[in-house]
């Protein structure tokens, strides 16, 4: 792989603009090469002969050894006057500048442009790196203060006996023998201020090892330097609410409270600090990688310059790179070492392997078994689909007297799995294209690193669901019934219900099988949607709620399950759902629920962020609720007045939703953009894709109005099948929306260099709290 591709593959996508623009510098060098070739034409035969001769001679050149320190440049006759650039680059106003000494040579103007752009890129990289190092140093100070409070809380909660022993030995926190944790030694690194007594288990081990010698035990206690407990008098604990009850309690009493020295508070504080250290260490690793990749990129581009121009500029310039802050700073490396030592000691009980496994992200391993089972299930699903088609044709189901009975009772049951299958298929396609265009979807959704599903895993789940669904459909295509009882077989009639139970059991299965992490993440997001105003809204929560707005028919299918197997006679394939007042009420409520989730989420974001756009978004979803309500009422009880109300509200909601999709969620239709009517930054090179997506979104939005427009029947399709077609079109529209919505979110992260989630810290010092309250 060429370095340019490898460089693009390894860089942090959110920091892409801060990296050295290797491709642009390479383009300038290509111009330099073309200029030299144009001014010094050489016949192809001469090039071939010369190259072959050079290669031939090099085969017989003396070998100087792999470890030889010498080289043919050691006694090179070239002096400083032969150098292409000034060896000692000057730094003016914090900006490095290089003086090119060969601008008068033929083609020197392009080389001068190259070095000017090279300096610009280098200054950009150094400035960004220096700012990021300052940020992590500031975060290290904050983590140190947090560790002060955590260690003091540990001592207060876990080891009161040790406090008594220290007090009896004159080792109270106020005595001169105890070094406060915030007393930094001269020359000590910032993370070096983190000091603590050994973990309780380590203390017990030392106690056992010195049990026979009381003097050694006293010396050990005196050698401990526990954190000062006075810090607990100046901090308040911040524990993010995790349940609706705790949220309500926090709203009534305040989210920041004093410390009650309970084990629950200690446990939550340790969890938050563990998460903070993991994210902080990951930031340090990426910052170190940023430094290394840019240094390597400068080395590669300068060697390419030397090769093209036959000059020796790389040595002087790289010496300047090494002497700069980018090459000489070691704060990040030292900070990483200190973080590793601190985390292993305080959060892994001294177990280095366990601590490092937590700190370092685990690379996801690609398994061939997934490909094998994906191919197996896909082949089985295709075979079953063909069997279903053949069975329908052989039995002439479309002309059978039981056709309407089957479509009214059995088809809605299996359509639920069809909607889920189609949505998974679209999601797999989204993941594939997100990965292809390097959209960091796992970071945006907040997946735990190494647990996110790839498109193959999602296709595996969808193909397995397809096998079960087509198998069930095939079993229910038997239209024959017992002529004596005129009933169908019970076993085949309960197949859809059994399939639904299997899917529910797998979803809530507590064992670590079938992607438990992803299943629990989904369940957590669903719970947050259900209790929308009582949880802080994150992107995965409202993203899932948006998906549910496109699965209204799937939710209605679940309602039909309850009605068909609860109130209907599934043995004779009959139900009394339609026309039942209770069913009609829930038929309306189920359609409103997803939009109600989004409405409440927008209200919560308005309360948290004080952003007027959240209020407008809430109005948009409220208009959609009105439109869905009037449409559903019109569908159940037709009337001219209801038709006018449903049409008007649906038009308003469709226009509002379409505008919001394209302008707000996708960030398109920017008149002043350099990409006319799109946005300044695009990930897909072909601009026509965006215009096609906008047109498709508008067309597929019209399918949302199918009830009002009167498309309830078709000569070649049953009413339930037509409803399924329009519902599938909405799922396809949502799949297209998903890609461009995350693309816009990714570009926002790139524009703000946001590569990490903000992690809440457990403690708030009184000074900070007073500053924030002012």
Residue 359 domain flag: no
pLDDT of residue 441: 93
Burial of 79 (0-12, 13-18, 19+ CB in 10 A): exposed
Q: What's the number of domains the chain is made of?
A: 1
- Residue 145, pLDDT > 70, answer yes
The single-letter DSSP state of residue 226 is P
Q: What is the pLDDT of residues 363-412, one digit of tens each?
A: 677 788 999 999 999 999 999 999 999 988 887 777 777 788 888 889 99
Local confidence band at 184 (pLDDT 50, 70, 90 cut-offs):
very low
Cβ pair 679, 673 in contact under 8 A: yes
Task: Identify the pLDDT of residue 90.
Answer: 56
In a domain, 111, yes or no: no
pLDDT digit string, tens, across residues 511-533: 998 999 999 999 999 999 999 88
- Per residue in 364-374, pLDDT (tens digit) is 777 889 999 99
What's the whole-number average pLDDT of the chain?
Answer: 80
pLDDT of amino acid 156: 82
Is residue 680 assigned to a domain?
A: yes
What are 217's two structure tokens? 């035990």
pLDDT of residue 210: 43
Structure tokens given for 204:
């017990």
Distance CA 59, CA 66 (A): 16
Cα-based angle 584, 588, 593 (whole degrees, multiple of 5) = 140
If pLDDT is split at 50, 70 and 90, which confidence band does 545 have? very high
Write out the residue range of the structural domain in which residue 722 sits. Answer: 368-751
Average of per-residue pLDDT across 278-292: 93
The stretches of 610-687 forming alpha helices (DSSP H) are: 612-636, 640-659
- The DSSP secondary structure of 44-110, one letter per residue, reads HHHHHHHHHHHHHHHTTSPP--TT----TTTT-S--GGG-SB-SS-EEETTEEE--BS-TTSTTHHH
SS3 349: coil
Query: Is 769:285 a contact under the CB 8 Å cutoff?
Result: no
Which of 84-93, 182-191, 326-335 comes out lowest in average pLDDT? Answer: 182-191
Q: Which pLDDT band, with edges at 50, 70 and 90, does 493 fall under?
A: confident
| pLDDT over threshold 80, residue 645 | yes
Q: Where are the alpha helices (DSSP H) in 437-576?
A: 441-445, 455-476, 490-493, 495-507, 516-530, 539-549, 552-566
- Across-strand partners of 569? 574
User: Distance (Å, rounded) from C-alpha 296 to C-alpha 125?
Assistant: 13
- What per-residue confidence (pLDDT) applies to 137? 93
Q: What is the pLDDT of residue 713?
A: 62
- With a CB cutoff of 8 Å and minimum separation 6, the contacts of 267 are none
Q: What are phi and psi of 765, to 5 degrees?
A: -70, 150
**pLDDT > 80? residue 86:** no
- Residue environment code for 9-33, b if the CB has 16+ CB neighbours within 10 A, otherwise e: eebbebbeebbbbbeebeebbeebb
Confidence band for 654, pLDDT divided at 50, 70 and 90: very high
The rounded distance, in Å, linking the Cα atoms of 325 and 552 is 57
**More confident call, 361 vs 369:** 369
> Residues 359-380, buried b or exposed e (16+ Cβ, 10 A)?
beeeeeeeeeeeeeebeebbeb
Residue 416 has a pLDDT of 95
The band of 14, judged by pLDDT with boundaries at 50, 70 and 90, is confident
CA atoms within 13 A on the CB side of 485: 10
pLDDT at 59: 47
Identify the three-state secondary structure at position 100: strand
Q: What is the per-residue pLDDT for 165?
A: 54
Q: How far apart are CA 530 and CA 26, in angstroms?
A: 53
Q: What is the pLDDT of residue 75?
A: 37
Task: Give SS3 for 437.
Answer: coil
Q: Residue 335: what pLDDT?
A: 93
Max mean pLDDT among 212-216, 226-230, 304-308, 554-558 falls in 554-558
Q: What is the pLDDT of residue 89?
A: 56
Angle at 585 between CA 580 and CA 587, to 5 degrees: 90
Beta bridge partners of 90: 97
Q: Which residue has the higher pLDDT, 14 or 78?
A: 14
Q: Of all residues in the chain, what percent carry a pLDDT higher than 70?
A: 76
Residue 117 burial (CB count, 10 A): 15
Rounded to two decimals, the pTM is: 0.82
Lowest mean pLDDT among 108-117, 282-291, 420-429, 484-493: 484-493
In this structure, the number of other CB atoms found within 10 A of the CB of residue 323 comes to 13
Considering only 52-61, 201-210, 328-337, which range has the smallest mean pLDDT?
Answer: 201-210
Calculate the CA 129 to chain-centre distance: 24
Candidates 690, 697, 707, 620; CA nearest to 658 is 697
Interatomic CA distance for residues 468 and 495, integer angstroms: 10
In a domain, 592, yes or no: yes
533 in a structural domain: yes
> Among 34-38, 113-117, 516-520, whose mean pLDDT is lowest?
34-38
| Tens-digit pLDDT profile for residues 575-585 | 888 878 889 99
Tokens 């305040």 locate to 254
Asked if the structure places residue 39 within a domain, the reply is no
pLDDT at 209: 43
Residue 616 lies in a domain: yes
What is the predicted pLDDT for the residue at 745? Answer: 93
- Specify if 308 maps to a domain: no
- The answer to whether residue 693 scores a pLDDT higher than 90 is yes
- Tens of pLDDT, residue by residue over 61-74, are 454 444 433 333 33
Q: Give the contacts of 247 (CB within 8 A, at least 6 positions apart).
A: 241, 534, 535
- 36-50, 262-276, 340-354, 457-471: the lowest-pLDDT one: 36-50
């Amino acid at each position: 792989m060429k370095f340019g591709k490898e460089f693009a593959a390894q860089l942090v996508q959110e920091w892409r603009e801060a990296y050295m623009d290797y491709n642009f510098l390479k383009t300038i060098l290509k111009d330099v090469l073309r200029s030299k070739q144009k001014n010094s034409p050489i016949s192809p035969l001469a090039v071939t002969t010369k190259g072959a001769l050079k290669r031939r001679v090099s085969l017989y050149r003396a070998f100087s050894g792999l470890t030889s320190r010498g080289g043919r440049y050691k006694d090179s006759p070239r002096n400083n006057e032969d150098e292409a650039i000034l060896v000692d680059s000057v730094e003016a106003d914090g900006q490095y500048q290089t003086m090119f000494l060969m601008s008068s040579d033929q083609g020197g103007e392009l080389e001068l442009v190259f070095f000017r752009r090279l300096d610009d890129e280098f200054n950009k990289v150094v400035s960004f790196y220096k700012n990021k190092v300052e940020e992590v140093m500031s975060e290290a100070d904050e983590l140190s203060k947090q560790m002060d409070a955590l260690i003091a809380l540990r001592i207060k909660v876990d080891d009161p006996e040790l406090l008594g022993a220290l007090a009896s030995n004159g080792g109270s926190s106020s005595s001169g023998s105890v070094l406060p944790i915030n007393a930094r030694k001269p020359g000590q690194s910032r993370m070096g201020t983190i000091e603590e007594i050994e973990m309780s288990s380590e203390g017990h081990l030392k106690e056992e090892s010195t049990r026979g010698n009381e003097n050694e035990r006293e010396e050990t206690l005196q050698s401990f330097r526990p954190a000062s407990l006075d810090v607990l008098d100046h901090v308040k604990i911040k524990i993010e609410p995790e349940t609706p009850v705790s949220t309500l309690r926090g709203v009534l009493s305040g989210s920041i409270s004093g410390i009650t020295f309970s084990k629950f508070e200690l446990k939550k504080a340790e969890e938050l600090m563990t998460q903070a250290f993991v994210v902080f260490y990951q930031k340090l690793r990426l910052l170190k990688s940023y430094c290394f990749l840019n240094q390597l990129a400068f080395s590669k581009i300068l060697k390419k310059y030397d090769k093209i121009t036959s000059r020796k500029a790389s040595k002087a310039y790289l010496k300047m790179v090494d002497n700069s802050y980018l090459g000489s700073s070691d704060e990040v490396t030292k900070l990483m070492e200190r973080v590793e030592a601190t985390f292993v000691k305080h959060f892994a009980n001294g177990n280095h392997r366990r601590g490092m496994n937590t700190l370092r992200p685990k690379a996801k391993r690609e398994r061939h078994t997934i490909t094998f089972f994906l191919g197996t299930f896909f082949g089985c699903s295709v075979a079953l689909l063909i069997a279903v088609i053949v069975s329908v044709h052989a039995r002439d189901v479309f002309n059978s007297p039981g056709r309407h009975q089957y479509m009214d009772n059995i088809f809605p049951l299996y359509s639920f799995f069809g909607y889920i299958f189609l949505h998974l298929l679209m999601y797999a396609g989204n993941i594939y294209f997100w990965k292809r265009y390097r959209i960091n979807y796992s970071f945006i959704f907040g997946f735990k690193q190494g647990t996110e599903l790839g498109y193959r895993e999602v296709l595996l789940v969808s193909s397995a669901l397809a096998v079960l669904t087509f198998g069930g459909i095939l079993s229910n295509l038997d239209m024959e019934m017992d002529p004596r009882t005129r009933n169908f077989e019970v076993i085949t009639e309960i197949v859809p219900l059994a399939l639904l139970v299997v899917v529910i059991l797998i979803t809530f299965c507590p064992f670590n099988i079938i992607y438990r992490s992803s299943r629990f993440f989904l369940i957590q997001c669903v719970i947050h949607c259900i209790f929308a105003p009582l949880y802080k809204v994150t992107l995965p929560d409202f993203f899932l709620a948006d998906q549910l707005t496109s699965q209204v028919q799937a939710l209605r299918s679940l309602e039909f399950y309850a009605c068909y197997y609860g109130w209907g006679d599934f043995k004779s394939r009959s139900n009394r759902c339609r026309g039942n007042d209770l069913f009609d009420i829930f038929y309306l409520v189920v359609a409103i629920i997803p939009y109600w989730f989004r409405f409440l989420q927008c209200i919560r974001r308005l309360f948290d962020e004080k952003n007027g756009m959240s209020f407008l978004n809430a109005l948009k979803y409220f208009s959609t609720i009105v439109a869905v309500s009037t449409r559903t009422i019109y569908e159940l009880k037709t009337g001219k007045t209801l038709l006018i109300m449903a049409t008007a509200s649906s038009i308003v909601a469709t226009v509002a939703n379409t505008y919001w999709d394209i302008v707000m969620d996708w960030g398109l239709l920017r008149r002043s953009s350099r990409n006319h009517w799109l946005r300044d930054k695009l990930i897909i090179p072909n601009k026509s894709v965006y215009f096609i997506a906008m047109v498709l979104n508008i067309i597929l939005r019209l399918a949302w109005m199918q009830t009002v427009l009167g498309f309830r029947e078709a000569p070649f399709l049953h009413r339930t099948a037509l409803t399924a077609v329009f519902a599938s079109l909405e799922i396809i529209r949502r799949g297209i929306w998903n890609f461009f919505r995350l693309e816009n979110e990714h570009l926002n992260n790139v524009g703000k260099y946001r590569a990490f989630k903000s992690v809440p810290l457990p403690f708030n010092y009184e000074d900070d709290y007073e500053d924030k309250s002012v």
